[in-house]
Amino acid sequence: MTGRMIETESGRRLGRCRDMRAALGSGHPRIDALVVGKRGQLEHFGIGTPRAHRPNAVPWKAVVRIEGDRIVVRDGTELE
């Protein structure tokens, strides 16, 4: 999943998937979001500034399909 380009259905690029966020509940972890871009890569390594929140994730519910080296999300999807 990581390394794939995230694009909207109409082809607008949002960035590369660098990591995934998941929630633990009963049973297995559930993916909540895909972490995007350079800030997302820093987050993967535990480096970041929580006080300066900048959007760097795409909600998992926006994913339409995964094909080859790209992840397609609904048009209108923005980083959160």
Domain boundaries, the chain: 5-73
Phi, psi torsion values for 75, nearest 5 degrees: -55, 145
Q: Give the number of other Cβ atoms within 10 Å of residue 7's Cβ.
A: 16
| 19: Cα within 13 Å, side-chain hemisphere | 14
Confidence (pTM):
0.82
pLDDT digits (tens, 9 = 90+) for 41-73: 666 677 765 545 667 899 999 999 999 999 999
Residues 6 or more apart in contact with residue 48 via CB below 8 angstroms: 39, 42
In CATH terms, the superfamily for domain 5-73 is: PRC-barrel domain (2.30.30.240)
